């Protein structure tokens, strides 16, 4: 009998559409990112491990600069921040949006210019404000009336600080209710609809040491259509017109936040930046002409859209379990290094790397190692039926809200993060060790 060898299917362009642009198929079913085989990274640094493509991060920064040449683009540090990331963002000419004294100090001590940093937060601590003033942050976004007096007192009668007011435009947009921040029923900002924003802005204007440079809004996250941003432009310019009528105020800046949606799996929609930039530009020009106002300078705050597609997470399979008609593939990470599926049902597309399987695909659920039924990394995904312990799985689009949201649950140390570029891999953030965990525990 003649044995016919049937080669395993090779990845198609669609298979790699959500991977970093540098991703290539290597030998024996491996993939390389930034010229570095993923199996080499797993062997060298262990798993779980995050891989960040430096060239992809930089290219996405440049895309934003090209699409919004007239705007100030601020990278949203909450998506992911480390010293190298702050350095890349600085070199690519973007500003930085931070949410805490920790993010702020890390950036500034890395050499990031503080005047290009904006501080956010719905409940800024005294340390947050003191650090911002001490380091000379460019702008502070006021999120509640109580911040006005606190900030003015901290600045002092002879001081000066540029501020913006975060306004709630009453728009519900975003991929999940837990990441929608532009509606009136959540914790952020000052509502236009009940006059709260107008009242707070009047109080800001009464503080001579606070310079109101503009209005800020953020609609939510994972927004994949342009329309919500256009509605926001109209409502924000409408408020600017009323402020001009009431106070003779002409604000030079308008911050539309971020929330630009990306695809986590092949075929999913993503926000088209070219269309967004063109439509926002036209809408702002028309709205300002109608209101009789000069056009303010735009600010935008992408985070996920810069870091997310540049990252890959690697895991080793620890166990495969058949329960009834379900197959569970358990890996050596989980909700401590990626809580997003448990928090708001995010779907990923893991892939077997490191060997070429000829087995038929099977529908499996990739689960983590933690003692929670909700510790699921990817539900109902196709992997080769012969997946087994020791296999290496790679999860694309892992650059945003993974390490930044990682926890110490079950005292499992947070994974390391490596950067790849031009065939070289280097460690940016080391693995959290058991010694690190023990050293924090100082009582007995």
What positions carry a catalytic annotation?
Answer: 371
Element (H, E) at 140: strand 139-142
Number of residues that make up the chain? 444
User: What's the rounded Cα separation, in Å, for the pair 310 and 4?
Assistant: 40
Contact 80, 402 (CB under 8 A): yes
Task: Report the b/e string of 51-67 with b at 16+ CB within 10 A.
Answer: bbbbbbbbbbbebbeeb
Contact 312, 394 (CB under 8 A): yes
Q: What number of CA atoms fall less than 13 Å from residue 271's CA on the CB side?
A: 28
User: What's the rounded Cα separation, in Å, for the pair 224 and 275?
Assistant: 11
User: What's the rounded Cα separation, in Å, for the pair 296 and 299?
Assistant: 9
User: What's the rounded Cα separation, in Å, for the pair 436 and 421?
Assistant: 29
Strands 161-168 and 210-216: parallel
């Amino acid at each position: 009998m003649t044995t016919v060898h049937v080669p395993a299917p090779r990845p198609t362009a669609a298979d790699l559409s959500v991977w970093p642009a540098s991703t290539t198929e290597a030998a024996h079913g491996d993939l390389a990112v930034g010229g570095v085989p993923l199996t080499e990274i797993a062997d060298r640094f262990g798993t779980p491990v995050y891989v960040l493509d430096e060239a992809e991060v930089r290219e996405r920064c440049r895309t934003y600069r090209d699409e919004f040449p007239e705007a100030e683009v601020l990278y949203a540090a909450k998506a992911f921040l480390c010293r190298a990331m702050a350095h890349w963002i600085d070199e690519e000419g973007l500003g930085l949006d931070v949410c805490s004294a920790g993010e702020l100090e890390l950036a500034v001590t890395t050499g990031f210019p503080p005047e290009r940093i904006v501080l956010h937060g719905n409940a800024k601590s005294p340390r947050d404000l003191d650090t911002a003033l001490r380091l000379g942050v460019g702008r502070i976004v006021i999120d509640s009336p109580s911040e006005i007096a606190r900030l003015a007192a901290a600045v002092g009668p002879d001081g000066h600080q540029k501020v913006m007011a975060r306004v709630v435009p009453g728009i519900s947009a975003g991929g999940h209710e837990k990441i929608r921040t532009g509606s009136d029923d959540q914790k952020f900002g000052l509502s236009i609809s009940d006059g709260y924003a107008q009242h707070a802005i009047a109080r800001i204007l009464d503080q001579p040491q606070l310079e109101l440079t503009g209005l800020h809004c953020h609609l939510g996250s994972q927004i994949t259509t342009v329309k919500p941003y256009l509605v926001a432009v109209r409502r924000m310019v409408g408020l600017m017109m009323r402020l001009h009528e009431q106070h003779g105020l002409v604000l030079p800046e308008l911050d539309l936040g971020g929330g630009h949606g990306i695809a986590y799996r092949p075929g999913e929609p993503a926000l088209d930046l070219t269309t967004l930039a063109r439509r926002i530009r036209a809408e702002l020009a028309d709205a300002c002409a109608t209101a009789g106002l000069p056009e303010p300078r735009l600010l935008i705050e992408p985070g996920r859209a810069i870091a997310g597609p540049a990252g890959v997470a690697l895991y080793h399979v620890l166990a495969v379990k058949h329960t009834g008609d379900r197959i569970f593939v358990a890996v050596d990470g989980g909700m401590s290094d990626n809580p997003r599926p448990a928090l708001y049902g995010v779907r990923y597309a893991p892939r077997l790397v490191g060997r070429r399987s000829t087995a038929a695909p099977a529908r499996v659920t990739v689960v983590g190692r933690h003692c929670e039924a909700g510790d699921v990394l990817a539900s109902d995904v196709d992997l080769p039926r012969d997946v087994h312990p020791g296999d290496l799985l790679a999860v694309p689009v892992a650059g945003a809200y993974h390490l930044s949201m990682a926890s110490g649950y079950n005292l499992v140390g947070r994974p390391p993060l490596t950067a790849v570029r031009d065939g070289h891999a280097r460690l940016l953030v080391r693995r959290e060790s058991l010694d690190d965990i023990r050293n924090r525990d100082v009582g007995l």
